Amino acid sequence: MAADVLTKSRKEQGTSGPTRRNPLRKPATWVAVLVFGFFFLNLAGVVGVPVADSFGTRWFTSWLPEGWTTRWYGEAWREFGLGQVFWTTALVSLLVVAISVVLGVPAAYALARRDFPGHRLVLLLFLLPILVPPLTYGIPLATVLYKFHLAGTLSGVVLANLVPSVPFVVLTMTPFIEQIDPRIEAAARMCGARTSSVLLRVLAPLLVPGILAASVLVLVRTVGMFELTFLTAGPDSQTLVVALYYAVFSAGIRTQQSIDAMAVMYTLSMLVLLVIALRFVNPTQLVTRVREERSRD
C-alpha cells in the first residue's frame, strides 16, 4: 500500500513539474543555426578559395585545381620582393610599438593618477583617432608630411601610424595603472625613493602585463593598418598590406596564384599575431572596463 502511494505521488510530481522543451524545436534556435551556418560557409569560401588557388596548378572549370604545387609561393616571394616587404613591415611595426609605449605609458599614468580640469576632454581627444575613420585625418596628415618631405619615407610611415597607436596605448594602459594601489607609491616615497626609482623599480614590474598587452595590440593594428600607410608609403617603405594592394590593382599582368599566395602569407601573419594577442589580452575584460566607465558616468 505504501509503495502504491509513493508511486502515485511520484507520477503526480512528474506531471505537475515543469516540462523540458527540446531547444531544437524553437524557431529562434533554427534561425541562429542558419545565420551562423551561412556566416561560416562564407568564411570558408573567402579563406578556402585563395588557399586552394595558391597551391593549384590550373583551376578553371572543375571544383578543385587539376594539380597541386608550392611554386607559386616562391614566385610571389621573388616577384613582389617579399623579403624587403616583410623586413619593412617588421621594422615599422616595432618602431611604432616602441615609440607608442614610451609616449603612451607616461600619458596614461598622468590620466590615471591626476585629476585636472578638462580631464574628460583629453580622454575624448585620445578617443578620436581610434573612433574616427583613418581616411578623415589621414589625407590632411599625408599633406603635412609631404610638405615637410617626410611622406614616402620610413619615418613618415612611422609618424602616420603613431597617430592612432599612442592613444591606443593610453586607453589600454590607463585601467592597468588605476588597478595599482597609490599607497604603494606613497610607501616607496616615504622610504626615500625618488620619482624615477618609483617608476622603474616599483611601477614598471607591476605594469609589465599591461605593457605587453598594449604592445601586442599596437603591433596587430600597425601590421593591418592600410589607409595611413598607403597614403604615406613610398616604393621602399611599403608594408605587407600595401604591397598586396599594389600587387592586385597596379598595372601589368601578374599570375593570380602568386597574388593568392601573397594573400595567404599576409593572412597567416595576421592570424599568428591575433593568437599571440589573445594570449595576453582578454577581450571580455576590455568590454567590462568600458561598461564600468559608462556606469560611473
How does DSSP classify residue 23?
G
CA atoms of 247 and 257, how far apart (whole Å): 12
Compute how many other C-beta atoms are within 10 angstroms of the C-beta atom of residue 202.
17
- The most distant pair of C-alpha atoms in the chain lies apart, rounded to whole Å, by 100
Tens of pLDDT, residues 143-184: 999 999 998 899 999 999 999 999 999 988 888 888 888 888
Among 122, 216, 220, smallest CA distance to 174 is for 122
With beta carbons less than 8 A apart as the criterion, state whether 221 and 164 touch.
Answer: yes
Q: Is the pTM value of this prediction over 0.85?
A: no
- What is the domain partition of the chain in residue ranges? 73-296
Grid coordinates standing for 152? 614616402
Q: Which residues are paired to 56 by β-bridges?
A: 68
CA atoms of 173 and 207, how far apart (whole Å): 8
Compute how many other C-beta atoms are within 10 angstroms of the C-beta atom of residue 297.
6
CATH superfamily of 73-296: MetI-like (1.10.3720.10)
How does DSSP classify residue 69?
-
CA atoms of 182 and 90, how far apart (whole Å): 37
pLDDT at 250 over 80: no
Helices (H), the chain: 2-16, 27-55, 71-79, 82-113, 119-131, 134-147, 154-178, 182-190, 195-197, 204-224, 227-232, 240-249, 256-280, 283-296
Side chain identity at residue 95, one-letter code: L
- Map grid coordinates 600597425 to a residue: 222
pLDDT at 10 over 80: no
Compute how many other C-beta atoms are within 10 angstroms of the C-beta atom of residue 118.
9
Tens of pLDDT, residues 75-132: 889 988 899 999 999 999 999 999 999 999 988 988 888 887 888 888 888 888 888 8
Q: Of 130-134, 232-236, 286-290, which gets the smallest average pLDDT? A: 286-290
